[in-house]
Amino acid sequence: MDTLLRQSLFWDCNLETLDIEKHKRQIIVRVLERGTLDDWQTIKELYGKETILQEALQARSLDKYALAFCSGYFDVPKEKFRCYSLIQYQKKHWNY
């Protein structure tokens, strides 16, 4: 695992126990939110676009930039992403 993606992306994980298939959603979301273009190319080669799309659609959280990127790249409306509907239910702080 450590030779495929930057270790700094997974500072909070034990890389020895991080399984590429078992933890693919966690890996994909982390790369979408914090990865570089090289990391993006790596997960495209590793998982393929269809798997990335399916995992992104089911992710409980994506930051607004990753959500906008996925929506535009895959040509899927933001409303189709699970994280988008979950964001709508979260209470927000007052906007002064």
SS3 18: coil
Average pLDDT score over residue span 2-17: 82
Q: pTM for the complete prediction?
A: 0.84
Comparing 91 with 72, the larger pLDDT belongs to: 72
Contact in structure between 30 and 59 (CB atoms under 8 Å): no
Euclidean distance between CA atoms 45 and 49, whole angstroms: 8
32 φ, ψ (degrees, to nearest 5): -60, -40
Residue 84 pLDDT exceeds 80 = yes
Reading the block at residue 28, the tokens are 């994909």
